[in-house]
Chains A and B, each alone.
Chain A
Amino acid sequence: MATAVGSAVRLDPSDDLRRGDTGWLRWRTGFDRWMGVLLPLLFGVAILPILDVVYYISAKAVPTLSWSVLTSYADYQAQDALGVPIVTTFLFMLAATAIAVALGLFGGIATAEFLPERAAGWVRMSANLLAGMPSVIVGYFGYFAFVIYFGWGLNFIAGVFTLAFFMTPYIFRTADLAFSSIPRPIREAAYGSGAKPVQYILRVGTPIAFPQILTGVFLAMAIGVGETAPIILTVQPGLLVPNTLFQPAVYMTYLIWTGFSQPANSVALTLAFQAAFLIIIAVLALNIVVRFVAARYRKRLEGLYQ
């Protein structure tokens, strides 16, 4: 940038203008206008890939998908059948979400309501650190702790607990955030009219914070359903829906990984695209629900102040 002599930037153009020199001013405004055109184009860098991912996967998966594929419980390694992976993934999500809620929800509420500011800061930091943990490290933890040291083997339950630990911080954080953002006057009114902490949480706080906590659970599920490394490292793919906790089980994302590692195997590749399509649908649906609920929730919170 052609800056003026003497100062870092010459903002006042009046001297130049008085001399009839509008070049510097025109350069500055022109630069600004060009930035206004070029910088929004960078949105394309983010939007084009996401559109292409969705388009490519849909174009590959939709023509091959049918109701009979989705409901066929046949051997998914031999033919195009998604019944077992879908049901097993549901079981994984159900169990892992339940454990993650049990581990994270109460902690979040306790942090928002009872912990002194300093302690709450440290606890939140620990939740942030856990959320920033690479998935492969959580997978290694699950492998060494659950599979080897606990002796659970490469079975369903090891994957469930690994996944649950991965999802816990997200639920913790939204529970904390939901209770922290309840307007102060409401809190004070509840305690002022003699509510005990437990009464406040159950009767006042939970009805207000519930939608946001629900979005946190959905968000954690969206993250969990797309996770690959923790599951592949801790569970052996099974051909059947597990009857007990100590059985091998297959996960949707495992099918995508198999399709990648056996590109010559047309069944595996078809299954990979179909699984990717279903996961994208699930994740997008969960995200849209989250946004919708969050927007309504914000309106409700604003209403509480009036």
Chain B
Amino acid sequence: MSSTPVPGVTGDREPLPSPSSSAARPRPPVGWRRRIWRLVPYVPALVPAAIVVAIAATLVVASGLHNFGLGFFGLAFNSNLNQFGMLVFIVGSFLTAVPALFLSMAIGLGIAIASTTYLPPFLAKIFDPFVDLLAGIPSVVYGIWAFLVIAPIFGNLLNPWAVAHLSFIPGFAGNSVSPTTAGVGLPISIFVLTLMSLPITTLLIRDALRSVPRDLWESGLALGATRWEVVRRVSLRHGSRGIWSAAFLGFGRAIGETVAVAMVIGSTDKLPTNVYDVTWTMSSFMFQTLDAAFGNSLYLAALAELALVLLVITLAVNLLGRRLVRHIYAEEVAGL
């Protein structure tokens, strides 16, 4: 760096003295009144944090924590004998949420790549809001639609087809579901959860792909790569944090989904014996059995403890997902 500044060359200019550097100009001492006034904005700002803490604290108090010990994560569930092993529901939650997440990530990646890369912008502008609207349909409406429209399709068409043609895969043989509940069970729950987590995953992946600098995109094409090769090797790498965050937040959605799943999971406190079987998830079990637990304080405590387990899972997943991305709210991306 030369000592004689050359006019017009910005790189060689002497840096201006920063007004904010406290070393150059010490700030006047802050009076106690002003200090207290500075704390005032924290009162409303901490409301969401306070609600989160209140929810956690209430569930801790309601569960009593000490009641169950390790038996809580066992298989023995019988409310009449006061046995509260919740493993079935935890397993059921993961059995539905994990496949749903994989499906919704795959479809979300496809939609996001199509919308950012292949579709002409005016078509993308028409189609993208539909995916966002998917999030607007209430969960209970999905549930009754899936129960009345989709469950017969699974029961009469897809499940029998899979039994006939895929039975060489372990778990795909035999349909233990009775004809009355045909179609209800794991596959349709995964279907519903895929649909319901699709908006958030698509939204976040789309944003991750859009945030790839144009220069990178164009230099990829200039090197002779096809659009697909640029997406695969440049955009997906560049946006990998956003895509991971989509996975975490999508999982949080899927595992917390309550009412729609309660309508199609079959509500049975048994582990599934094949891939078509009915079972139960944490959230739908909690939703459907609170009435039954009324008056049985131990049952209520067990349910509260299960809520605590679900709370810890969703908080952890959401924390991880939100730490990964640069924008402050995912909804910012939707232009809302």
What are the interface flags for B133-149 relative to A under an 8 Å C-beta threshold, 1 for contact and 0 otherwise?
11011111111110111
Name the one of B114, B139, B314 contacting A226, with C-beta atoms under 8 angstroms: B139
- Among B43, B45, B118, the one with the most A-chain Cβ atoms within 10 Å of its Cβ is B45
B282 to chain A: closest residue by CB: A136
Q: Which residues of A contact B (CB under 8 A)?
A: 8-9, 11-13, 28-29, 31-32, 35-36, 38-40, 42-43, 45-47, 49-50, 52-53, 56-57, 103-104, 106-107, 109-111, 113-115, 119-130, 132-141, 143-145, 148-149, 165, 168-169, 172-174, 176-177, 180, 215-216, 219, 222, 225-229, 232-233, 253, 256-257, 259-260, 272, 276, 279-280, 283-284, 287, 290-291, 294-295, 298
Contact B62 A144 (CB under 8 A): yes
| A256 and B318 in contact, given A13-B224, A132-B252, A177-B329 (Cβ under 8 angstroms) | no
B195 interfacial by beta-carbon distance below 8 Å: yes
Interface of A is mostly: helix
Chain A nearest CB, measured from B227 CB (Å): 6
- Place the interface of chain B in its size category: 35 or more
| A39 and B52 in contact, given A137-B256, A260-B144 (Cβ under 8 angstroms) | no
Question: A residues within 8 A CB of B322?
Answer: 125, 128-129
Contact A134 B45 (CB under 8 A): no
Chain B nearest CB, measured from A171 CB (Å): 10
Name the one of A36, A133, A135, A177 contacting B332, with C-beta atoms under 8 angstroms: A177
Chain B nearest CB, measured from A220 CB (Å): 11
B315 to chain A: closest residue by CB: A129
Contact A46 B198 (CB under 8 A): yes
Q: How far does the alpha carbon of A272 sit from the alpha carbon of B140 in the complex, in Å?
A: 10
| A256 and B137 in contact, given A31-B228, A140-B286, A215-B336 (Cβ under 8 angstroms) | no
B311 interfacial by beta-carbon distance below 8 Å: yes
Q: Other CB < 8 Å A-B pairs besides A49-B195, A127-B329, A137-B59, 12 of them?
A: A43-B114, A104-B48, A107-B44, A107-B46, A123-B45, A129-B319, A134-B314, A136-B307, A174-B336, A256-B144, A260-B143, A260-B147
Beta-carbon contacts under 8 Å, B217-261 to A: 223-229, 233, 249, 252-253, 255-259
Contact B227 A36 (CB under 8 A): yes
Q: How far does the alpha carbon of A298 sit from the alpha carbon of B334 in the complex, in Å?
A: 12
Name the one of B48, B115, B145 contacting A169, with C-beta atoms under 8 angstroms: B48
Question: B residues within 8 A CB of A42?
Answer: 107, 110-111, 114
Name the one of A123, A130, A137, A272 contacting B144, with C-beta atoms under 8 angstroms: A272
Beta-carbon contacts under 8 Å, B105-163 to A: 107, 110-111, 113-115, 117-119, 123, 127, 129-131, 133-134, 136-145, 147-149
B213 interfacial by beta-carbon distance below 8 Å: no
Q: How far does the alpha carbon of A47 sit from the alpha carbon of B128 in the complex, in Å?
A: 10
Contact B47 A107 (CB under 8 A): yes
Q: How far does the alpha carbon of A77 sit from the alpha carbon of B39 in the complex, in Å?
A: 53
Name the one of B145, B229, B336 contacting A11, with C-beta atoms under 8 angstroms: B229
Contact A134 B258 (CB under 8 A): yes
Q: How far does the alpha carbon of A290 sit from the alpha carbon of B223 in the complex, in Å?
A: 42
Contact A294 B336 (CB under 8 A): yes
Contact B141 A115 (CB under 8 A): no
Q: How far does the alpha carbon of A101 sit from the alpha carbon of B335 in the complex, in Å?
A: 21
Question: A residues within 8 A CB of B195?
Answer: 46, 49
B54 interfacial by beta-carbon distance below 8 Å: yes
B24 interfacial by beta-carbon distance below 8 Å: no
Q: How far does the alpha carbon of A129 sit from the alpha carbon of B34 in the complex, in Å?
A: 32
Contact A135 B144 (CB under 8 A): no
